[in-house]
């Protein structure tokens, strides 16, 4: 029996969802077959509609209630984004964001053919939005009447006194106009592109999204969201003005960067450098968190003297001398001498740590770490004896590892000394996204390694990974976070500090990696024995087999779970509040309500925050569905 492979399944699904082939039912037919097919179904439909109606009305009443102070949210947009990150240093955040935005545009251009949206369908969307607005206007209860002091008036029977329906509709004339304009535009679009020959005219989805983002950014220039500033330790809110130029301009630049990145990506996609640029964009994504970390956290008064006199030379020395040593150790005539050299290195490396414990002689921590790594590399060296290509692999790998280790060590050892106006560092959505992105990017490779370890045929790797995963999965995230922010600094040897944020990121990454590993393991288990055998039979090495055959398929299979993990990492950043960081939710929940202008105004902010969380996760989830369908087809 041959199982149905995922690709043919995906192919079939693709056929089913193809919009052109599916037989279209008329609206009446559709209603009859799906909602009113028999009387039980009819009752369910009516009850469901009633529930939906009540829910929608409740939400609308809440949102448009006279008691809502939306101005608190509008005015505090900046607080929600970055909290009290010093204004003079804002350029760093913009640089970081600009980098990511341009890279995102680039990748979107290089990797995917996004396809088009028939303008006719776009018309129906506009009609839908217009209709929805009209529905909302109708459904919302007439406003409560208030007296001159703003207190709600009651009827004689004690219930709220509301204006008449007609007056309510007249009050909402702006909304009616909006609904009609959108609906009318939709109809115009729809009818213009309904004729047989125009039916298939499409607009690229990317252009539509890009225009949408553009309109959102345009509102910064025209809509009086209100302004917010943090000055001299106090929050100053200025409702009723448009946001500052220093906000409008950068966002506009971001928009331009996104577009330029995309155009460049598209150009590269059709050029002969596709493969190279795909690799390049992946590499950039990998480097990106480190670069951003540095851009955002960097100590303005970073001691470049120390970097030049110590950090850099040391990194270079380890990188180059180590590379030379490894080159020698992989000579084919090295024989027994190689093993002896490696053992000596290992003994020295371990002795360094012992010495650190007793405080015999001073040595920078990163030197100890590098030494130990060098010893391990020397032990591995016999596997790389052979042709030049193999030796070069080891040497280049070593240089890469050293660059990373020394970069990280220098960075983490240099906690930010930004001149903060309060205890709070970067906060708000900025912090949330920053943590989420870095955690996801870093935990990904770690999780994959753990999963490979857990399914490895070497018992020692299996044991280590399994116990790591089980231990981490056995404790709540919050305890890991507390452990890293409070306890770990106590254990670090002298002369090594861990900035709070770095500590938290480390803990969070280690935590998230364990869960990711389990998801990847699920994918690994779904790879058939035949794939391994075929890879072996054509002579791939174990590493090539893993990288080219096993992992790509395993990751594809586990896309839904991996995306779930990404989404939950993103949402759980809200736990950062517990260890004292001001994440997005905390700003809405405790910073805004503490401002004198908006004392106790909480619900509005929280609703907006929830919506933004939802928006991000919705986009991620939609994208993953798309991705699944595409890789399911095998296309890349």
Partner 1 sequence: MSIDDATTAANDRLADRDDMIVCVNVDKFYGDFQALKGVTATIKEGEVAVVCGPSGSGKSTWIRCINRLEVHQGGDIVVDGIELTNDLRNIEKIRSEVGMVFQQFNLFPHLTVLDNITLAPIWVRKKPRAEAESTARALLERVGIPEQAEKFPGQLSGGQQQRVAIARSLAMEPRVMLFDEPTSALDPEMIKEVLDVMKELARSGITMMVVTHEMGFAREVADRIMFMEGGEIVEVGTPEHFFTNPTEDRTKLFLSQIL
Binding site for partner 1 (CB under 8 A): 2, 5-8, 11, 389, 528, 530-531, 533-541, 544, 548-549, 552-553, 556, 631, 633-636
The SS3 call for residue 237 is strand
Asked if residues 485 and 503 have their Cβ atoms less than 8 Å apart, the reply is: yes
Gap between the Cα atoms of 359 and 353, Å rounded: 9
Asked if residues 461 and 453 have their Cβ atoms less than 8 Å apart, the reply is: yes
627 Cβ contact partners less than 8 Å away, ≥ 6 residues apart: 559
Residue 518 is encoded by which pair of tokens? 């389990």
The beta strands (E) that lie in 27-158 are given as 116-118
The beta strands (E) that lie in 151-245 are given as 202-204, 227-231, 234-238
Gap between the Cα atoms of 286 and 550, Å rounded: 21
Pairing status of strand 227-231 against strand 202-204: unpaired
Residue 158 is encoded by which pair of tokens? 């004690």
CB of 548 to partner 1, least distance (A): 6
Asked if residues 611 and 585 have their Cβ atoms less than 8 Å apart, the reply is: no
Dihedral over Cα of 52, 53, 59, 63: its sign: positive
Which helix (DSSP H) or strand (DSSP E) does residue 573 occupy?
A: none
Gap between the Cα atoms of 431 and 501, Å rounded: 10
Using alpha carbons, list the distances in angstroms from residue 11 to 22, 231, 622, 624, 634.
15, 59, 19, 17, 10
Residue 34 DSSP code: H
Gap between the Cα atoms of 296 and 434, Å rounded: 10
C-beta atoms surrounding 361 within 10 Å = 8
Gap between the Cα atoms of 548 and 203, Å rounded: 36
User: 228 pairs with which residues across the strands?
Assistant: 237
**Cα 391-392-395 angle, rounded to 5 deg:** 90
Residue position matching structure tokens 């919009």: 19
CB of 632 to partner 1, least distance (A): 9
53 Cβ contact partners less than 8 Å away, ≥ 6 residues apart: 139
Return phi, psi of residue 419, to 5°: -80, 85
User: 116 pairs with which residues across the strands?
Assistant: 204
Asked if residues 189 and 119 have their Cβ atoms less than 8 Å apart, the reply is: yes
User: What's the distance, Cα to Cα, between the start and end of the chain in Å?
Assistant: 29
User: 238 pairs with which residues across the strands?
Assistant: 227
Residue 175 is encoded by which pair of tokens? 């909304």
Please choose, from the candidates 258, 251, 233, 580, the residue with its C-alpha nearest in 3D space to the C-alpha of residue 420. 233
Gap between the Cα atoms of 460 and 447, Å rounded: 17
Count, residues in the chain: 636
Using alpha carbons, list the distances in angstroms from residue 494 to 315, 370, 497.
20, 17, 8
């Amino acid at each position: 029996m041959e199982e149905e492979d995922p690709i043919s399944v995906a192919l079939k699904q693709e056929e089913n969802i193809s919009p052109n082939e599916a037989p279209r039912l008329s609206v009446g037919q559709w209603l009859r077959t799906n909602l009113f097919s028999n009387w039980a179904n009819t009752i369910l439909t009516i009850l469901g509609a009633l529930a939906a109606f009540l829910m929608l009305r409740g939400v609308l009443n809440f949102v448009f209630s006279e008691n809502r102070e939306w101005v608190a949210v509008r005015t505090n947009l900046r607080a929600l984004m970055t909290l009290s990150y010093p204004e003079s240093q804002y350029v760093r955040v913009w640089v970081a964001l600009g980098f990511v935005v341009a890279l995102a545009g680039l990748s979107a251009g290089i990797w995917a053919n996004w396809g088009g949206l028939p303008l006719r369908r776009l018309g129906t969307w506009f009609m839908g939005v217009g209709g929805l607005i009209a529905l909302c206007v109708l459904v919302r209860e007439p406003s409560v009447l208030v007296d001159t002091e703003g207190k709600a008036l009651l009827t004689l029977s004690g219930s709220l006194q509301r204006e008449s329906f007609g007056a309510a509709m007249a009050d909402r004339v702006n909304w009616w106009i909006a609904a009609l304009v959108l609906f009318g535009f939709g109809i115009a679009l729809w009818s213009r592109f309904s004729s047989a020959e125009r039916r298939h005219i499409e607009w690229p989805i990317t252009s539509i999204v890009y225009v949408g983002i553009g309109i959102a950014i345009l509102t910064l220039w025209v809509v009086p969201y209100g302004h917010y500033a943090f000055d001299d330790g106090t929050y100053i809110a200025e409702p009723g003005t448009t946001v500052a130029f220093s906000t409008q301009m950068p966002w506009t630049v971001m928009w331009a960067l996104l577009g330029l990145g995309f155009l460049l990506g598209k150009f590269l996609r059709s050029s002969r450098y596709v493969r190279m640029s795909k690799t390049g964009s992946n590499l950039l994504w990998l480097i990106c968190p480190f670069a951003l970390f540095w851009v955002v956290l960097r100590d303005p008064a970073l001691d470049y003297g120390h970097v030049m006199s110590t950090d850099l030379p040391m990194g270079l020395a380890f990188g180059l001398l180590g590379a030379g040593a490894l080159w020698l150790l992989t000579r084919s005539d090295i024989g027994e001498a190689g093993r002896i050299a490696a053992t000596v290195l290992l003994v020295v490396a371990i002795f360094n740590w012992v010495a650190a414990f007793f405080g015999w002689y001073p040595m920078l921590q990163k030197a100890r770490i590098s030494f130990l790594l060098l010893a391990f590399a020397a032990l591995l060296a016999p596997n790389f004896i052979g042709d030049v290509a193999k030796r070069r692999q080891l040497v280049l790998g070593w240089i890469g590892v050293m660059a990373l280790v020394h970069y990280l060590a220098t960075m983490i050892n240099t906690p930010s000394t930004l001149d903060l106006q309060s205890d709070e560092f970067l906060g708000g959505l900025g912090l949330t996204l920053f943590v989420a992105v870095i955690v996801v990017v870093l935990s990904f490779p770690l999780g994959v390694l753990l999963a490979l370890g857990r399914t490895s045929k070497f018992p020692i790797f299996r044991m280590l990974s399994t116990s790591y995963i089980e231990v981490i999965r056995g404790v709540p995230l919050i305890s890991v976070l507390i452990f890293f922010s409070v306890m770990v600094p106590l254990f670090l040897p002298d002369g090594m500090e861990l900035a709070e944020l770095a500590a938290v990121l480390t803990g969070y990454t280690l935590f998230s990696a364990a869960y990711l590993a389990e998801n990847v393991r699920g994918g690994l288990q779904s790879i058939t024995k035949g794939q391994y055998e075929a890879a072996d039979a054509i002579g791939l090495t174990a590493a090539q087999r893993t990288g080219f055959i096993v992992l790509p398929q395993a990751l594809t299979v586990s896309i839904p779970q991996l995306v779930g993990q990404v989404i939950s990492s993103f949402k759980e950043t809200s736990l950062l509040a517990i260890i004292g960081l001001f994440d997005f939710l905390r700003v809405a929940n405790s910073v805004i309500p503490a401002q004198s202008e908006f004392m106790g105004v909480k619900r509005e902010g929280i609703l907006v925050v929830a919506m933004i969380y939802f928006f991000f996760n919705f986009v991620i989830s939609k994208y993953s569905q798309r991705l699944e369908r595409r890789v399911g087809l095998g296309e890349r």
